[in-house]
Every structure is written in C-alpha cells, then in structure tokens.
Structure 1
Amino acid sequence: MGELSNCPECYKLFVKTQFKTVCDACYKEEEHKFEVVYGFLKQSKNRTATLSNIEEHTGVEEELILKFIRQGRIQLANFPNLGYPCQKCGKLIRENKLCISCGKDIKTQLFELEQEEDRRQKVTEKQATYYTFQPKNN
C-alpha cells in the first residue's frame, strides 16, 4: 500500500509506492528523459560514452542517469564505460554497492569487531567466576 508523500522533484503531494517515487507529472518527464538517454545510447557510435558524455549530449542530469542504471533500465553489460559510484568512496563500479577495496575494508572491520566482542565476552566470563575459600582446620 502506498503512503502520502511530497514529490522530491516538484514537492506536489502524491501517493508513494515501492515502484513510484515521484508524482505522475515528474514520472512522465523522467520517462521522456529516459527515452532521450536510451535513444542516444542505442546508436552504435555512442555505446562507449561515459556518464559525462551522456549528460553533455542529452542534457539529462547525471543523477537521473544513475537512477536509471540503479533501476536496471540501462544494462551496464552493453556499455563498457558506464558505471555508478561506490556508496562509500565514490569510485566508479559496475556491480554491487561497494568497490572491492571498500568491501574488504568493511569485512576487516567486522572481523576486528567480532574479535573484540570475543575478548570482551571472555573477560566478562572470568569476572563472573566465583571461588570459595575454606580455611584449614588446625
């Protein structure tokens, strides 16, 4: 079910759903811009275009082109010079959400965090140990 929201482009009120993130008027404009971008990329001479080339020749802003890529409407397999930025460092990537180095960095940080949790758990266990003392009877 949708929820009432303001369009992020024109601020008009509309019903936002999982698939519909802008109002009808802005959606139609986005569709028109997609057709312009797709028409540009369909030409064989433009298949090696970069993001900035596409923006320059079509007039469609980079963020909207990236939205089309993230939605899977522009398949990167057909366009070798296209990609989208890594969500952590901004490096141009063609798959996943993070580049390889940022992915490794996060895995390393998670491993270190788990190690620290294990160390804390062991210290807590040692502190929770109780001993009894019975004096010797002479």
Structure 2
Amino acid sequence: MGIQKCKRCKKVFAAVQGAKICPNCLREEEDQFVLVKDYLWEHPGATIKELHEATEVEERIIKKFVKEGRFLQINGVDITVECERCGTAIRSGRFCEDCSQKLQNGISKVKKVSDSKEELKEDKDRMFLGDRIKRR
C-alpha cells in the first residue's frame, strides 16, 4: 500500500493494489457505469456520442469502459473504440488482434536479441577466464 495522487480529483489517498483513482472517484465512476449500462439495456444500438448525450457521462470514461470490455456481456451492444496503433474498430482492449500479434512478435525479437547478447557476454567472460588459467 502506498500514497498516491488521484488522477481525477488530485486528492492524496492510500492506494490499494495499484489503484490510480481514489475510492470516492472509483465509486462515482461505478455509478456512471451503471447509468451507461442501464441506458444500453434500453438502447443496445447506441453510439458513444449518444450515450454521452443521454447520460452526461464523459466520452473518455465511456471509452475506458469499452476498452475494459465491460459491455461485451450485453446482447446487441456493438460499441467500438479505435485500435491505438492502426485505428481499426475494436470491441475491447487497446489494440486489434493484428497489431497485438505484431507487437508480441516485435517484443519476442527484442528478447531473442537481448538473450543472445547475454550469452555472448557470458562466453567472452569464460574465454577470458580460460586464458588466465592457461597462463598460470
């Protein structure tokens, strides 16, 4: 548990499990989610803009709910946000499947290069140590 500044209201609070917002703002955000969810049950084809206008919940918060996948369980709801890399419409998360795969491949390549450099360094250390032993 650490002390942190709330990203929404800027008050200092005791953070639990990496929370970014204080308990009061979290409660308020959950109340906003209930408003949006209830509206979606009544109007499953609503867009983010329509949700904002009807519920007065900020669009960025509605988009956050979408990225968290909170509306996937509601039948008929097809709200999407844009992939942060290519702009493709996605139903949850930050990246589309294609971009996620490309990012994972890139990370794997970097890891392989890093691992091979570590092995090379270990080999050099052994060779140097071997040379010292031979000299004795």
TM-score by length of structure 2 reads 0.64
Of residues 80, 83, 94, the one that matches 1:83 is: 80
How many Å apart are 1:69 and its aligned residue?
Answer: 2.6
Tell me the alpha carbon deviations over residues 28-53 of structure 1, each in whole angstroms, 9 at most, x when there is no partner.
2212211211111121xx10111121
Inter-CA distance 36–101: structure 2 relative to 1 (3 Å threshold): same
Could you tell me which residue of structure 2 aligns to residue 41 of structure 1? 40
Higher-helix-fraction structure: 2
- Any idea what SS the aligned residue of 2:4 has? strand
Inter-CA distance 113–72: structure 2 relative to 1 (3 Å threshold): closer
Could you tell me which residue of structure 1 aligns to residue 99 of structure 2? 102
- Any idea what SS the aligned residue of 2:70 has? coil
Please tell me whether residue 69 in structure 1 is matched to residue 101 in structure 2: no
My pick for the range that moved more, 58-67 or 99-108, is 99-108
1:1-138 matches, cutoff 5 A: 2-18=1-17, 20-43=19-42, 46-75=43-72, 78-95=75-92, 97-103=94-100, 106=103
Could you tell me which residue of structure 2 aligns to residue 127 of structure 1? none
How many Å apart are 1:112 and its aligned residue?
Answer: 8.7
Structure 1 alignment gaps of length 5 or more: 122-138
State the AA in 1 paired with 2:2. Answer: E
Q: Tell me how far apart the structure 2 counterparts of residues 90 and 96 of structure 1 sit (CA, whole Å).
A: 13
Inter-CA distance 5–73: structure 2 relative to 1 (3 Å threshold): same
When the two chains are superposed, the root-mean-square deviation of aligned CA atoms in Å is 3.2
- Any idea what SS the aligned residue of 2:14 has? strand
Aligned residues: 117
Larger Rg: 1
How many Å apart are 1:12 and its aligned residue?
Answer: 0.2
Tell me the alpha carbon deviations over residues 65-123 of structure 1, each in whole angstroms, 9 at most, x when there is no partner.
12223334322662443022212133321245422453465578679989xx6xxx9xx
